[in-house]
Amino acid sequence: MTERTIHVDYIARVEGEGALKVRLRGDTVEDVQLKIWEPPRFFEAFLRGRSYLEAPDITARICGICPVAYQMSSCHAMEHALGMQVRGELRTLRRLLYCGEWIESHALHIYLLHAPDFLGYPDAVRLAKDHPDAVKKGLALKKAGNNLMTVLGGREIHPINVRIGGFYRVPTVHELTALRPELESALELGEATVRFAAGLKFPDIEEDYEFVALRHEHEYAMNEGEVVSNRGVKIPMSQFEDVFEEVQVPYSHALQSRHKGEGSYLVGPLARYALNHDKLLPRARSIAREAGLDDVVRNPYKSIVVRGVEIVQAAEESLRIIDAYRPPDEPFVEPPASFHATTGAAISEAPRGMLYHRYRINQEGLIEEAKIVAPTSQNQKRIEDDLRHLVERSLSLDDTSLTDACERAIRNHDPCISCATHFLKLDLVRT
Amino acid sequence: MNGGPGRPGMPDIQWPLLIGVGTDHRGDDRCGLDVVRALRERLAGRARVAECTGDITDLLDLWAGVAEVIVVDAVRSGKPAGTVVRLELPGTELPLLGATSTHGLSLPEAIGLGRSLGQFPAHLVIYGIEAENLEMGDGLSVAVAHGVREAVVQVATEIEARDVARPRD
């Protein structure tokens, strides 16, 4: 019996670092271990004793790629704890801010991290030499998203304008309408992105995912809604921990999420699209149809197309919001002056999937406990399952080719290892 | 952009751009940020100062149209922690820098992208500070804190020397 071990010490083109170990005995995959280190654990401890008002600014520092997600989940969780309702234009402005992050993050992943896999390049630098126009499209989209975040968030990275109850300052009509030309361009670039992505060659495989995402009655869910799955889950956000659990695995610093009694599940664009495609705006729905996407996409490689559809959705929605915008009378809803010790939880849809926050605060407003479950932690077990199936299908490949294939399979899910991991190292053992 | 610092009528774009790259709360990864933060006031009127704390492709926007750029970042090249290295482009092969980034793409990748896309400064100087610890957590390691102080002196000296040599209106 031949034993093979594949090590990936550093997986390129993921946001951060981690490691992968695959152990094969003959034609049997004995073990797949995705090892990640988890900064949210550090922040959970760091938050204890801090004012509840500080949570959005502190948690935004967890990740330079998706700070808005951390701000949104922390704000909603605190507002849930305090019984606050943020409605009207303030709610809409939060959605607009999130659109900026979706555009920026998806554009980065599609053009600079994922496209090289499909076009046969080792990295974006070499892709850019032969396909400069494609990379320029990606950078232009990123810039449009960044500019939206700068206007609403105060700055593009680690926005500072978000607070419990709303914003420190809301934009003027002029500030938002000034973004319109760039967002109109982003909408067209987004459609071009879907056409570009749909024209790539995809391995002909499908995975039997349990998709989990937020779903809202009236909109493509971002900040609000119920947690639903294609296997019957339908719960309020506050019951997330009743249905999903985090499990410690010895080889990783990150906790792995599982659907209790079921197993792995997938969050992110494929899940959102599968569970919310009927809520897409007209141009996003139209381009998805033009690209030949079914209502449910189970081929993980096609996530690049779905991310493109979500760019169109975010740009289209941004334009609608800007056109209807009337500045609210107050930039934020005032939190209650006094309150009892309380707990609140919330989920928002980060570009990579659901981001769960729960906080327990005391009567002085100090955080006593924080729990953060990042999307990449939730997908970690599911990525291992994808890898196991990939390796089983690909036993004839030599170690180098198999390693490349594993890295590529990981990138399908755009793991934000800045949030969830440290160095990604691949270790493939064949015995 | 109008009105260079202290020089009404001079476009900002004429001024050297000093960019600190890094991430707060990732140990020594913040050393580039600490250098430019320490120099922001001292260099007022001589250079523009910017920070790149997230996606490194933002560098392409930051240095668009700027002729002279100085970037300060953490590096890992096998030298003792805190060692300050100065590299100049054109004139240096980038792989020497190593990919230390906790920012998604690395600085060498941003430079490669900029070159491929024709979005690259005519003159780029990189100050790299050899990192020791890139784990989550606040604060620099002792050796890297020393490197930051040394880099502050070196960068300030270089920019002030350039300012002295710069033709006056």
Q: B137: nearest CA in chain A? A: A42
Looking from the CA of A210 toward its CB, the CA atoms found within 13 Å total 22
The reply to whether residue A132 touches residue B117, judged by beta carbons under 8 angstroms, is yes
Q: What are the pLDDT digits (tens) for B72-112?
A: 998 887 889 999 999 888 776 665 444 444 445 678 888 88
For residue A201, being part of any structural domain is answered with yes
Mean pLDDT estimate for chain A: 89
- pTM greater than 0.90: no
What does DSSP say about strands A426-430 and A162-163: parallel, antiparallel, or unpaired? unpaired
- Contact A81/A49 with Cβ under 8 angstroms? no
Q: What are the pLDDT digits (tens) for A128-144?
A: 999 999 999 999 999 99
The reply to whether residue B58 touches residue A156, judged by beta carbons under 8 angstroms, is yes
Which of A65, A128, A146 is facing B113, going by the closest CB pair?
A128
Question: According to the model, what pLDDT value does residue B91 have?
Answer: 73
Q: What are the pLDDT digits (tens) for B24-79?
A: 877 898 999 999 999 999 998 889 999 988 677 889 988 988 999 999 998 887 88
The reply to whether residue A125 touches residue B61, judged by beta carbons under 8 angstroms, is no
Q: Quick one: tokens of A125?
A: 């630098």
pLDDT at A279 over 50: yes
Q: What are the pLDDT digits (tens) for A20-63?
A: 888 888 888 888 888 765 555 678 888 999 999 999 988 887 77
Residue range A199-212: mean pLDDT, rounded:
97
Q: Quick one: tokens of B20?
A: 């600190």
Distance linking the first and last C-alpha atoms of chain B: 18
Q: CB pairs under 8 A, 24+ apart, for A53-61? A: A53/A163, A53/A164, A53/A335, A53/A365, A55/A164, A55/A357, A55/A359, A55/A367, A55/A370, A56/A162, A56/A163, A56/A164, A57/A160, A57/A162, A59/A357, A59/A372, A60/A158, A60/A159, A60/A162, A61/A158, A61/B24, A61/B25
For residue A267, being part of any structural domain is answered with yes
Q: Residue A360's pLDDT band (boundaries 50, 70, 90)?
A: very high
For residue A147, being part of any structural domain is answered with yes
Residue range A368-385: mean pLDDT, rounded:
92
CA–CA dist A65, A279 (Å, integer): 26
For residue A1, being part of any structural domain is answered with no
Q: What are the pLDDT digits (tens) for A74-130?
A: 999 999 999 999 999 999 999 999 999 999 999 999 998 899 999 998 888 889 999
The reply to whether residue A156 touches residue B54, judged by beta carbons under 8 angstroms, is yes
Residues in chain B with CB shorter than 8 Å from the CB of A108 are 55, 57, 104
Which residues are registered as beta bridge partners of A8? Answer: A426
* Domain encompassing residue A387: 39-395
For residue A28, being part of any structural domain is answered with no
Question: Which DSSP string corresponds to A247-308?
Answer: E--TT-SSPEEEETTTB--B-SHHHHHHHHGGG--HHHHHHHHHTT--SS---GGGHHHHHH
The reply to whether residue A139 touches residue B25, judged by beta carbons under 8 angstroms, is no
CA–CA dist A60, A153 (Å, integer): 11
Which residues are registered as beta bridge partners of B18? Answer: B49, B70
Sign of CA dihedral A183, A187, A192, A195: positive
Q: How many domains does chain A have?
A: 1
For residue A346, being part of any structural domain is answered with yes
- CA A126, A131, A132, A137: dihedral to nearest 10 degrees? -120
Q: Identify the CATH number of the domain in which residue A334 sits.
A: 1.10.645.10
- Contact B89/B36 with Cβ under 8 angstroms? no
Q: What are the pLDDT digits (tens) for A172-181?
A: 999 999 999 9
Q: Residue B9's pLDDT band (boundaries 50, 70, 90)?
A: very low
Judged by a CB distance cut-off of 8 A, whether residue B53 touches chain A is yes
- H or E segment and range at residue A317: helix A303-324
CA–CA dist B33, A395 (Å, integer): 46
For residue A321, being part of any structural domain is answered with yes
Nearest residue to A298 via CA among A207, A379, A231: A207
Q: What are the pLDDT digits (tens) for A402-418?
A: 888 888 898 898 876 54
A123, A139, A150: which to substitute to probe chain B, counting the most B Cβ within 10 Å?
A139
What does DSSP say about strands A162-163 and A28-35: parallel, antiparallel, or unpaired? unpaired
Structural domains present in chain B = 12-164 (3.40.50.1450)
Radius of gyration of chain A (CA): 21
- Contact A260/A244 with Cβ under 8 angstroms? yes
For residue A23, being part of any structural domain is answered with no
Question: According to the model, what pLDDT value does residue A65 have?
Answer: 75
